[in-house]
Amino acid sequence: MAAFGQYLELGMFLDQGLAGQLDMNLDAFSRATQRKLTDAQWSQVRDAQRRAMRWTYIGSGITHPFFLESVEGLDPSLRRKAEEVGPMFC
């Protein structure tokens, strides 16, 4: 149970790091293309990229059927928790 809690904490830590990486990626995009995005464009691209990064690095793992089966084997409440938390990363 403690390890699963730490797994969720790690997911939140990664999510925060991805947000920082995303800002650096958008800055690099602006410099490389010599384009200045409007606030609306920046927000739209940032939201889409954040969803994509969350899914790629966190959501696809926590919602994967094999992962869910594994944690259910440890404790059925862990699967329920994963199913509850997973969609926020999708």
Query: Where in the chain are the domains?
Result: 37-90
What pLDDT does 34 receive?
94
pLDDT of residue 36: 87
pTM of the complete model: 0.77
- Residue 1, pLDDT > 90, answer no
pLDDT reading at 62 higher than 90: yes
- The chain-wide mean pLDDT, for the chain, equals 92
Please report, rounded to a whole number, the percentage of residues in the chain having pLDDT higher than 70: 100
Distance of alpha carbon 60 from the chain centroid? 9
Distance of CA 40 to the CA centre of its chain: 22
Residue 33 above 90 pLDDT? yes
Burial 71-82 (b: 16+ CB within 10 A, else e): beeeeeebbebb
